Chain A
Amino acid sequence: MKITQGQFSFLPDLTDEEVKLQIEYGLNNGWSIAVEHTDDPHPRNTYWSMWGTPMFDLKDPAGVMMELNACRKEFPNDYVKVLAFDSNKGFETIRMSFMVQRPADEPGFELVRSEGPGRTVRYTLRSYATGRPPSGRYSPAAAP
């Protein structure tokens, strides 16, 4: 399956040139760009690992691309996303979030149903990947 979190997941993967244009848009709005990665893409896993803090003082998209590439190089099998943080009153939240790397094989989630009284069901999403230890969740050797 393809996990479709983020604002451009229904489009073909963005090229580096396209990623750079989006970063430029964020910077032109005065937002701070951040890079985060994870091997646990559960939709409610809010806190992915930060590749450093948001780059508050970095205004050059090429500089951001260098950081992004360094992250991708160190974690080639992780999900990686680019975020833009807006510190302005009324927002003070994330304004952009899009995926820039995903593992070659995405095993996805099992929907675990626990039946309760009155036909109610309690639903749990269990990632097929996180059953394995962090080091080997998406590496080819670990694939079944």
Chain B
Amino acid sequence: MNKALDVKITDLKERYTSGVLKYRQMGYWEPEYEPKDTDILAVFRITPQDGVDPVEAAAAVAGESSTATWTVVWTDRLTDSEYYRAKAYRVDPVPGSPDQYFAYIAYDLDLFEEGSIANLTASIIGNVFGFKPLKALRLEDMRIPPHYLKTFQGPATGIVAERERMNLYGRPLLGATMKPKLGLSGRNYGRVVYEALKGGLDFTKDDENINSQPFMHWRDRYLYCMEGVSKAEAETGEVKGTYLNVTAATMEDMYERAEFARDLGSVIIMIDLVIGYTAIQSMAKWARKNDMILHLHRAGHGTYTRQRNHGISFRVIAKWMRMAGVDHIHAGTVVGKLEGDPSVIRGVYDTCREIHVPQNMQHGIFFDQPWASLKKMMPVASGGIHAGQMHQLLHYLGEDVVLQFGGGTIGHPMGIQAGAVANRVALECMVKARNEGRDIWNEGPEILTAAARWCQPLRAALDTWKDVSFNFASTDSVDVLPTPTAS
């Protein structure tokens, strides 16, 4: 019998004869497959080893991320194996990268446990990422159907309720990460919190690696920080918050810290991405139950999101985090010190903030993504930004965003309060000018200069950081494809 290597074997006796088959022969390549509305879809960028056919590689990814193993097993015949198999249904070459392909794969809803990011990711980014026939593999985007989304809590608070709790509308929120990251005592640390909030910021923030070290144990930090927050509230008449990092070694420790933060009257806590998907979902449930805004610092993501050929695109992480239920997520600045191509970042911001995200290949969005009833997640722009960029930040990032100026507040030559004043004045004058119909993209620098005439702290900020920019080529840009049509 002449076994074609590139087509599915339909004769069952032949299909289940012991031995090794190509993944295509096993049925993981279904070019005629029409994805169902309930399917979870994934698009991977695959780089096959030399000599490995891209369609076979795509079928292998479908197989290894669903039901397959390396050899034929008769126990498949005890199941409706056709139904459980993930199906690679489309392979496109990546423009400009002859060795790379976009592979589209459909997964049936029944392959996944409801409401579990851990279960979803164990399949989609499980064994398959170490698979030898591929040189590299990157998860570019996913389409999560509303049927599956509705099994997730989503953001504990969401943008709308966060603004209502903070009594803060019509402008981006302002924050700052406390510096130095490590070494301050609780008392000294609370001083920085107080100065920044009193000066005009809405939030201050623990850094990702501030937990409970010898120089400042967590209880001490929380107590001094809340003194600073409350004092700043009394002196400004505004609601203020500080992201108390509850990241710890065990869930028990994290719950203990979160409860203490709540009992002290904090409106917000934070966690790091490195605590893991399950711990994040647990904290999101805790946050919903305790009226707490939940900030996520994406510590660790750069190890797998940054390279274009291998890992996971950050837009997928953002999607999973909106499902997992965090309220804030660091999502890039475009103009600051950290990685960020403007189109890629736009795609991530849309993923955080829109209730329906249409396919947009320019922004790296491969599928229409309706968000069902999940609340909106506030993106946070942090890292190397300063008051002089306010017009660019407002232009690129819009209004529902937390702009975090750490160095840009604490490093101000006239002090921390002055740094906060400079940022707040720059922001308010830019929003006002935009609303008045002015072209802030072009007139931004003049608008800032005009405000600096009556605001000395803004003048000093503009003078100090006027030449700072981070113009490096981005390592993660979009490979634009023509809009796909139905296959």
Q: Which residues of A contact B (CB under 8 A)?
A: 1, 3-5, 7-12, 18, 21-22, 25, 41-44, 46, 83-84, 89-98, 108-111, 118-123, 125
Q: Verify A109–B424 contact, CB threshold 8 A.
A: no
A96 touches B170 (CB 8 A): yes
Closest to B232 in A: A111
| A46 CB contacts on chain B under 8 angstroms | 167
Residue from B227, B230, B425, B428 in contact with A7 in the complex, judged by beta carbons closer than 8 Å: B428
Could you tell me the distance in whole angstroms from the C-beta of B254 to the nearest C-beta in chain A? 19
Question: Given A21-B435, A90-B376, A123 and B236 touching (CB < 8 A)?
Answer: no
B189 CB to closest chain A CB (Å) equals 15
- Is the C-beta of B355 less than 8 angstroms from some C-beta in chain A? yes
B residues neighboring A (CB under 8 Å): 160, 163-164, 167, 169-171, 200, 219, 223, 226-227, 230-231, 233-239, 263-265, 354-355, 376, 421, 424-425, 428-429, 431-432, 435-437, 451, 454
> B239 near A43 (CB under 8 angstroms)?
yes
**With the chains together, A46 CA to B235 CA distance in Å?**
18
Task: For residue B317, give the distance in angstroms from its CB to the closest CB of chain A.
Answer: 22
C-alpha gap A97/B425 in the complex (Å): 16
Q: Which residue of B lies closest to A3 (CB)?
A: B237
Which B-chain residue is minimally distant from A7 (CB atoms)? B170
The distance from the CB of A15 to the nearest CB of chain B, in whole angstroms, is: 12
| Interchain CA distance A89-B376 in the complex, whole Å | 12
Instruction: Give the residues in chain A near B424, CB-CB below 8 Å.
Output: 10
Chain B residues lying within 8 Å of A97, measured Cβ to Cβ, are 167, 169-170
18 inter-chain pairs at a CB distance below 8 angstroms, sorted by A residue, are A3-B238, A4-B236, A7-B428, A11-B425, A21-B435, A21-B437, A22-B435, A41-B237, A43-B233, A90-B354, A90-B355, A90-B376, A93-B163, A94-B164, A109-B234, A109-B237, A119-B223, A120-B223
Q: Could you tell me the distance between the alpha carbons of A7 and B435 in the complex, rounded to whole angstroms?
A: 12
Knowing A1-B235, A108-B235, the reply to whether A25 touches B428 (Cβ < 8 A) is no
Chain A residues, Cβ within 8 Å of B435: 21-22, 25
Contacts of B428 in A (CB 8 A): 7-11
Besides A90-B354, A121-B226, 4 more A-B contacts (Cβ < 8 Å) are A4-B236, A10-B421, A93-B169, A111-B233
| Cα(A125)–Cα(B263), bound, Å | 17
Which of B219, B435, B454 has the most chain A CB within a 10 Å cutoff? B435
- Please tell me if the beta carbons of A43 and B167 are within 8 angstroms of each other in the complex: yes
* Chain A residue with Cβ nearest B356: A90
Provide the residues of chain A in CB contact with B160, threshold 8 Å.
Answer: 91-93
| Chain B residues near A84 (CB-CB < 8 A) | 170
With A89-B355, A119-B223, A123-B230 in contact, do A11 and B236 touch (Cβ < 8 Å)?
A: no
Question: Nearest Cβ in chain A — how far from B394, in angstroms?
Answer: 13
Selected contact of A25 from candidates B223, B235, B436, CB within 8 Å: B436
Flag if A44 contacts B239 (CB, 8 Å): yes
| Contacting residues, chain A, for B200 (C-beta < 8 A) | 4, 10
B233 neighbours in A (Cβ, 8 Å): 43, 109, 111, 123, 125
> How many Å lie between the Cα of A85 and that of B240 in the bound state?
23
Q: Is the CB of B237 within 8 A of A7?
A: no
Specify which chain B residues have a CB less than 8 angstroms from the CB of A12 in the assembled complex: 454
In the complex, which residue of chain A has the Cβ closest to the Cβ of B222?
A120
Per the bound structure, the CA–CA distance linking A94 and B263 in Å amounts to 29
The 7 closest A-B pairs by CB, nearest first: A3-B237, A123-B230, A111-B234, A25-B435, A7-B170, A96-B170, A97-B169
Contact (Cβ within 8 A) A95 B170: yes
Shortest Cβ distance from B472 into chain A, in angstroms?
Answer: 33
**Shortest distance in angstroms between A42's beta carbon and chain B's nearest beta carbon?**
8
Tell me, rounded to whole Å, the shortest Cβ–Cβ distance linking A99 to chain B: 10
Q: How far is the CA of A5 from the CA of B164 in the complex (A)?
A: 13
Q: Name A122's closest neighbour in chain B (CB-CB).
A: B265
Residues of B within 8 A of A10 (CB): 200, 421, 424-425, 428
Residue in chain B with minimal CB distance to A26: B435
Bound form: Cα–Cα A92–B163 in Å:
12
Return chain B residues, CB-CB under 8 Å to A9: 428
Separation of A118 and B263 alpha carbons in the complex (Å)? 12
**A21 and B234 contacting across the interface, CB-CB below 8 Å:** no
Cβ distance A80 to chain B, nearest Cβ, rounded Å: 15
Complex CA distance for A21 and B239, rounded to whole angstroms:
27
Q: Which residues of A contact B265 (CB under 8 A)?
A: 122-123
**Which residues in B have their C-beta under 8 angstroms from that of A96?**
169-170
- Rounded to whole angstroms, the CA-CA distance of A42 and B236 in the bound complex is 10
Give the complex CA separation of A125 and B231 in angstroms.
9
